[in-house]
Structure 1
Amino acid sequence: MRRRPRKSASIAKPYPAVFSPAGRGYLRRMARRRDELQRIAADTFGWSRLTEEQLAAMEQVMAGHDVLAVLPTGAGKSAIYQVPALLLDGPTLVVSPLIALQNDQIEGIEESRAPAAVALNSAQRASERKHAWEALREGSAEYLFLSPEQLASDEVLDAVAELGVSLFVVDEAHCVSAWGHDFRPDYLRLAPVIERLGHPRVIALTATAALPVRTDIVTRLGLRDHREVLASFDRPNLRLGVDPLPNDDDRHQAVITRTRALTADPATRPGLVYVTSRKDAETYAGELAAEGVRVAAYHAGMKAADRERVHEQFLRDELDAVVATSAFGMGIDKADLRFVLHAAAPESLDTYYQQIGRAGRDGEPAEITLYHRPRDLGRQKFLTAAKAPEQALAEVAAVLAGHDAPLTPAELGKEVGVSAAQRTRAVNLLEQTGSVGVTADGRLEYRDSDVDPGQAVEQGVEAAEAHQRLIRSRIDMMRGYAETTGCRRQFLLGYFGEQLEQPCGNCDTCIAGTAEAVSSDGGDFPVNSGVEHAEWGRGIVMSADDDTVTVVFDDHGYKTLSASAVRERSLLTAVSRD
């Protein structure tokens, strides 16, 4: 396997010209700041060396900018806020979606010399919450971990506002984006929360975010004068492969056989097997256990205590494999996973990349295999073909437009006759189109007086249909990865807007000899440039070579076009991304 040098961080906006007096002074200040950050990292947390990406992000925070940092799983994203927090007056608020994830980060802080970290969540006793608030108010706790749902409480938000928060951190920030693979409506409420707190410096952290997701994160969080620090998506130690199989029985047996072989050798265990259903998790785990494999199932249908037990056993090396649905992932801080197998393709390369990124975080080789049955992706399209909730949109728009004062979600729920899930989806769609907004205290209001409720419904339906087109296009890209005869790493990186000119040498197509070098200049349409199509509108070029151009369009998702057709028929026009 050929190893390539790791790409350095990418900063969205340039430094001052280094040959000017201002530029030289800037560099001297940055050098002093770097030394201070390195010293705190070493003395307080025991990190002898920060990476270029970590330092670049920290520097921008200390310079007063909001920061979006996209770093791979295991690259130390938490350090980006933990170190600067000690140089800023006021506590640091970390919004994190899972209690398990919060606990892992708190444990890491407790093992250092940093001030205390506390969490406030539904699993705590009243006495624990009281102690946490006291520690924050007296200044003995520096870090506060909350879920986005808790920030919807006026009582909690009022108390947080009194603390004088200096740094607002959004972990798993892709959850804020409807383009993301793990969209969570409660993340949409964070922008008004940030403003309610006086817009302290904001750090948004995620392990995977293609350009549309990054743009959405910046917009939905309301980042100001922000900088982006982007690490390379390339993980050259992961050996990528796809095993195409004609039917379920063959695939099932292939997964069992390979998992058994990998777990039999200490050098190739432990690992994860991802499945698409709770039933499959139980079935695969049961068969492997019957053959002597130390294995457990993990899915959202299990009791919380049982999920926690599996989690802890896996981290303590008491299990050689976990067979899991997508519920298993966030908060898994284990660097030595030697394999990730997928018994079926997930719905997008975003999800796939994040799941396989949990393997080989120690830099050592790891096996990544997708067991692919083409019909599965057709089923994914069927399962994701949800229609727009027109009735819910109409009722929500009419009720909010008919009130002079904003309503709480509970008050809205009493006046509309649809389910809570449909109501939430309708509110989210109306928020996306700008017809409905969230006030600083979490209430809902009708904001666009120039748009009547009927028009708002039409816009909401259009937004829902655009999202469905995006979902279907991401499934098509997942199929493209599974069925390409070119270098799989080139395909995967291209999806995220990163070019790899030479075949990687460490995927099944490279080993089979079907992968070829590709041109990376994209001709008239370089990667990350803006384009426009007569039918599909505006988009961003994600990858381009001599044969194809892949564009993600604002309203139609990913499209892969023939490069020769683009040239001969003038299908794309270059436009500004602004």
Structure 2
Amino acid sequence: MNKQLMYDRFKQHFGYDSFRPGQESIIERLMDGRNVLGLLATGGGKSVTYQLPALLLPGLTIVVSPLISLMVDQVQQLRARKKIPATYLNSMQDATESREILKGISEGAYKLLYVSPEKLQQPYVQHVLNRAKVSLIAIDEAHCISQWGHDFRTDYLRLPEVVKQLGAPPVLAVTATATTAVREEICRLFSIEKEDVVIKSLNRSNIAYDLIEVTDESERRLFVFDQIDRLQGPGIVYCSTRQAVDVLAASYQLDGKRRVHGYHGGMNSMERMLIQSQFLAGELDVIIATNAFGMGIDKPDIRYVIHYQMPASLEAYAQEIGRIGRDGMPGYALLLFSWDDLQIHHHMLDKEYPTQAQVQKYEQLCNSGVPLTSEALAMMDISEEMSALLAFYTERVLSTYEVAATGESYPKAQIIWQETEKRKSFKQKKLAEMVSYVRGESCLRTSINTYFGEADKRFDRYCCTRCGLSKNAYFQTNDKTIVKNDQSKWNLRQALDTLLPNK
């Protein structure tokens, strides 16, 4: 590899003289034709590790991305700021637009293609990409491929086969949130050797952690409105449900001092893209959102993230607070918690995973030959997301299922339900780990870093509320309010013991 050319292109297109930790090591391995897993902290510059090789390699680089808004944002920046020919393919484009893009790919007009995992599975798309000679496949947010990750997506697990169909070019899997089990599964699926796993510190030393118990919804809402008014911005407020987003955003807009808008998956794609663009451009101060917002958002000056309700897992929490302070300046993460949050997540899990009766109805519908339309699924109270999960387990799990040595066979529906129950139990375990985090008494930074196998515990301004934290440092300079640093007195222990019986 010509290192001087690499440095020249890095300076020319990205404007930097030196790499961040881990970037150069990942790029060198890719240029040697090796498969690589890169674990870099949120804001650690993961995109450079595939964007720069795209300029150095002869063919096309494919970037598998889970969110349409993320694709659009990345491509716009590549074209405008870095002068890199890039494009994207996703389900929101009509047939004419898709054909034009595929034609441009065939003619060599692009160096980078951002594509959804669903679109990448289409035979004609694969045919065009094979002719274009793919030099690298980068899988962003690679934790989505693991059944043991917090954000497993069935279409991601089909990617190893797609890689083979495209001639088995080098693969780069990148993420900021992966436990040891998730790392091992990613490496197994993409044949990544141990020496090609590049792990850098995931500790965000510039973020201070706060955790506060709230007793009722009215108290929670008023407290968050006060924080939005007083904290240095921009900021993000995360809610667990769309309803909470709508209520919170509408209520604040009536009397609040900041420019605030809601964001969730129930909005149409154009509205979501507009809100995201306004936030990135500084035309909005605060986004109140579900976890549908923020993955890959390149806004370096986010000063705080408030979790209005407890997230469902430590992985989700780490990823969402990782949007704070990517410019290296101090930031503040506030997590609010109450018993009601657990009830919300249990209800959402019940809606996400099917009952045994629903699985039986789904199998009967599949065997009947009736098309799996939205209307037909709705009649059985099966969402499209649940249907995708059932289709995955029908296709993959049953094909590898081994009948017991006794020769005893089981109905297909029972096997599928058992597998979905395993996944549901896994999500419940993740929720229990999150509860263990909020109910503990040790340093918040140490607790979350230990969970990810992170040894670095350093911090810049303040560590966390359990180690000592003055919120005044994160308020606007004209805010003279004195805030006492009181340790929260947790009184939910007995109730929470039902989740962690062996604790």
**TMscore range, shorter length:** 0.7 to 0.9
CA–CA separation in structure 1 for the residues paired with 2:256 and 2:386: 45
1:303 corresponds to 2:268: yes
When the two structures are superposed, what TM-score results if normalisation uses the length of structure 2? Answer: 0.82
Aligned to 2:186: 217
Aligned to 2:286: 321
Aligned match of 2:422 in 466, 472, 491? 466
The Cα shift of 1:200 comes to 0.7
Aligned 1:12-411 pairs, distance under 5 A: 34-111=3-80, 115-124=84-93, 126-219=95-188, 221-225=189-193, 227-262=196-231, 268-289=232-253, 290-385=255-350, 390=356
Aligned to 1:475: 431
CA–CA separation in structure 2 for the residues paired with 1:119 and 1:376: 37
Aligned match of 1:506 in 435, 447, 463? 463
**Corresponding letter in the other structure for 1:436:** S
1:436 corresponds to 2:402: no
**Corresponding letter in the other structure for 1:344:** Q
When the two structures are superposed, what TM-score results if normalisation uses the length of structure 1? Answer: 0.72
CA contact (8 A) 2:143 2:149 kept: yes
**Corresponding letter in the other structure for 1:283:** V
CA–CA separation in structure 2 for the residues paired with 1:253 and 1:113: 43
1:193-250 CA-partner distances (Å, limit 9, x unpaired): 111112111111222111222223233x433446211221201111101011222222
The Cα shift of 1:61 comes to 0.9
Aligned to 1:576: none
CA–CA separation in structure 1 for the residues paired with 2:387 and 2:92: 27
What secondary structure does 1:129 align onto?
helix
The Cα shift of 1:360 comes to 0.7
**Corresponding letter in the other structure for 1:214:** R
CA–CA separation in structure 2 for the residues paired with 1:174 and 1:150: 19
CA contact (8 A) 2:63 2:115 kept: yes
The Cα shift of 1:269 comes to 0.8
CA contact (8 A) 1:240 1:367 kept: yes
CA contact (8 A) 1:241 1:369 kept: yes
**The 10-residue stretch of structure 1 (96-105 or 452-461) with the greater mean CA deviation from structure 2:** 452-461
Q: Give the gaps of 5 or more residues in structure 2.
A: 471-498
What secondary structure does 1:229 align onto?
strand
**Corresponding letter in the other structure for 2:448:** L
**Corresponding letter in the other structure for 1:42:** K
The Cα shift of 1:374 comes to 2.9
The Cα shift of 1:58 comes to 0.7
Do the aligned partners of residues 136 and 422 (structure 1) sit closer, same or farther apart at CA in structure 2, a change above 3 Å counting?
A: closer
Do the aligned partners of residues 383 and 159 (structure 1) sit closer, same or farther apart at CA in structure 2, a change above 3 Å counting?
A: same
Aligned to 1:523: none
**Corresponding letter in the other structure for 2:252:** L
Do the aligned partners of residues 43 and 474 (structure 1) sit closer, same or farther apart at CA in structure 2, a change above 3 Å counting?
A: same
The Cα shift of 1:45 comes to 3.1
**The 10-residue stretch of structure 1 (223-232 or 102-111) with the greater mean CA deviation from structure 2:** 223-232
What secondary structure does 1:166 align onto?
strand
Alpha-carbon RMSD across the aligned residues, in angstroms, is 3.4
**The 10-residue stretch of structure 1 (346-355 or 423-432) with the greater mean CA deviation from structure 2:** 423-432
- Considering fraction of residues, name the structure with more strand: 1
**Corresponding letter in the other structure for 2:320:** Q
The Cα shift of 1:127 comes to 4.9
The Cα shift of 1:428 comes to 2.3
Q: Comparing both chains, which one has the higher relative contact order based on Cα–Cα distances under 8 Å and sequence gaps of 6 or more? A: 2
What secondary structure does 2:191 align onto?
coil
- Amino-acid identity (%): 33
CA–CA separation in structure 2 for the residues paired with 1:306 and 1:399: 35
1:162-212 CA-partner distances (Å, limit 9, x unpaired): 211111111121221222222222112212111111211111122211122
Do the aligned partners of residues 47 and 180 (structure 1) sit closer, same or farther apart at CA in structure 2, a change above 3 Å counting?
A: same
What secondary structure does 2:332 align onto?
strand
1:427 corresponds to 2:391: yes
Do the aligned partners of residues 45 and 364 (structure 1) sit closer, same or farther apart at CA in structure 2, a change above 3 Å counting?
A: closer
